[in-house]
Amino acid sequence: MKIGNTTSVSRAGRVRGQVRNPAAGAATSVSPPRPIADTTSVMGIPETELTPKVQAAIQTLMEEVDRLRQSLDQATQRLAGLEQLADQDPLMPIANRRAFVRELSRIQSFSERYDSPASLVFFDLNGFKDLNDTHGHVAGDAALRHVAQTLIRNLRESDVVGRLGGDEFGVILVQAEEATAKEKARTLAEAIRTTPFEWQGASLNLDVAYGIYAFGPGDQALDVDEALARADSAMYAQKNAMKSRAG
């Protein structure tokens, strides 16, 4: 079957970017694609404007920014270290009284707001004066560190342990109602009694008395010092009972 004439563009009609238009019978120019402009820039400055002086100035600026960044990092690290020192007891790696009271206030507010149980345990090292008189104050300091380490080993990371002064320690047990706190306090006291304190070849037994105060509904209005006083009072009640049994 024969099909009528069709218009086509022959290979001969394409020469150096020209295409013959069969309708007009003339050659139409097709411009070659334009090169993409170089848009490279440094800090928003086109590359064409980066003279040697500009490049030197930018390099100096970038080096200064890097020095400032390093100085800021070092200052941040020093500040973190100072904050840790300000919150840490000077004798052992636990919270000092100021930091402990701050955490106690925070946890007390959290407990009240979210109806979440928490308890405070107040520990006192028995016979500390006799230990100092017999073995010296260096031994007394080592005994305090021994107690602190024993508490740390037997507590969760979420709990807080601090030195309240002298031979007194405080522990905040989060998510612990009174019954749980009593059992935990008994376990901690037992760990201190059964972990001998080694000093200059001698094995010395340490003992503690403790008192507990559990936070309950409405305790947000209770002063933190009052909470500590109640736990301290419970501790002295136990200490007196221990003396009575020993006598």
* CATH T-level fold of 97-246: Alpha-Beta Plaits (3.30.70)
Q: What's this model's pTM, rounded to 2 decimal places?
A: 0.67
Residue 199 CA from chain centroid, whole number? 35
Q: In this structure, are residues 172 and 160 in contact, taking their beta carbons and an 8 Å threshold?
A: yes
The amino acid present at 42, given as its one-letter code, is V
The amino acid present at 5, given as its one-letter code, is N
Environment class of residue 87 by beta-carbon count within 10 Å: exposed (0-12), middle (13-18) or buried (19+)? middle
Q: pLDDT in tens for each of the 247 residues of the chain? A: 434 444 444 443 433 344 344 444 444 445 555 544 444 556 666 766 778 877 787 888 888 888 878 877 777 666 655 555 579 999 999 999 999 999 999 998 888 888 889 999 999 999 999 999 999 999 999 999 999 999 999 999 999 999 999 999 999 999 999 999 999 999 999 999 999 899 999 999 999 999 999 987 666 557 889 999 999 999 999 999 988 887 6
Q: In this structure, are residues 235 and 123 in contact, taking their beta carbons and an 8 Å threshold?
A: yes
Structure token pair of residue 93: 């790696």
